[in-house]
Amino acid sequence: MRMVFKNSLLFQPVNIWKGRRKFISKSFSQPILNSFVQYFNENSNVLVKVLRNFNHDLYSVFGRYTFDTFTEAIVGRNYHLQTDLNNKLLEEMDVIQHFLGCEYFVRGCCFGVLMRIKDFLCHGWHALWVILKFRRFLADKVRCRMAEFDKCPVVDSQLSFVDAMLNRKDIFPRKIIETEFILFASAATDTTGNSLVFIFTLLGMYPEIQEKVFEEIVTNIGRDEPIEVDHLTKLKYTERVIFECMRLLPSVTEVSRYISKDIKIGDKTFPKGTNISIYILGVHRNSKYWPNPDKFDPDRFLPEEIAKRPPYAYILFSAGPRNCIGKMFATMSIKVVVANVIRNFRVSSKYRSIDEMEMRCYMTMRTKHDIDCHFTPRD
């Protein structure tokens, strides 16, 4: 991960991280996020066309939507991965996750340098090549944006984080801007793309809930009208469904933290200097906070139900100062896609329980096999 995201927020010490995080967070303010809804809507319209004829990996379909939307919103350029199926960049990126999570890599990390070298020579060169290719591809996008910016500088308080950093090249060298863009593009594509796959699969498993979502969407937006910012706040039941889907199947199943002071929990003390992992999937299915935790119940996210739980019983986007900066970007994008797809398709799935899905998790979680989720155009 350091090779891909070196010098990014992910690995910065607090003295550097704090100022950079504050600077980048300004580019995810609500007015700026509202300006991105047009890109969510336009790209979800392309997605609807793709789903009418899709016959390939669903994770790729939604990952391509997410990538196109993110790059258009942040660097002003759409690379049309949704329709350019010859570009295998996202599929190749999964090679990296597979390498980092597979038995031979973990075994090498745990049981010795010689075994790690052997396994790298057998399997790692391709992963390294993909990493370098991915970095070059995204770095080129920043360079293109930089060239455009040099010709036509934009001075505005409502800028994407790349444009905002380009406006302050005195403190953000090009390499830093490239690295942050690579981090955010990678995180947005994989996590949001996988989440959309899980959401639609669960809607396919629960047609009565899907029908309620459809009715809310048609009532508040209509069958054909463009989706706008004001529509999103009206989709309250849809939002509850989305949150419940992501409670049961979070695309990121754990986060790690470094403890800077002793922390006492119950009768145990975690000492300063310890690295810990927080198992999000376990927290989200803890029966202490989620009665009958495997049951799919969107009403868990009614305001009165939320008030009964501790604030950290739901940590989809992590929590605390190092939570996900892009959580509202992701939530708004997902809501637009769900609205546009459900008003155009009936979704079905043969699964009757999430236990029927065989999962694998490297950096993000997805099924080991092609997921059973089908889209039938509505009349």
- The residue ranking higher by pLDDT, 254 or 85, is 254
Annotated binding residues for heme, as ranges?
A: 324
Which pLDDT tens digit goes with each residue over 16-43? 999 999 999 999 999 999 999 999 999 9
Q: Please give the annotated binding residues, written as ranges.
A: 324
What does the radius of gyration of the chain's CA atoms come to, in whole angstroms? 21
Report pLDDT for 213.
Answer: 98
Residues 363 and 190: beta-carbon distance below 8 Å: yes
Predicted structure pTM score: 0.91
Confidence of residue 169 (pLDDT cuts 50, 70, 90): confident
Confidence of residue 113 (pLDDT cuts 50, 70, 90): very low
Rounded-to-integer distance, Cα 27 and Cα 29, Å: 6
Q: Comparing C-alpha atoms, which of 323, 254, 320, 313 is closest to residue 285?
A: 313
Please report the DSSP string for 185-244 in residue order: HHHHHHHHHHHHHHHHHHHHH-HHHHHHHHHHHHHHT-SSSPP-HHHHTT-HHHHHHHHH
Q: Is 90 exceeded by the pLDDT of residue 121?
A: no
How does pLDDT run across 54-79, given as a tens digit for each residue?
877 899 999 999 999 999 999 988 88
User: What superfamily does domain 2-377 belong to in CATH?
Assistant: Cytochrome P450 (1.10.630.10)
- Give the residue ranges of DSSP H helices in 53-124: 58-75, 89-101, 103-111, 113-119
pLDDT tens figures, 330-362: 999 999 999 999 999 999 999 999 999 999 887
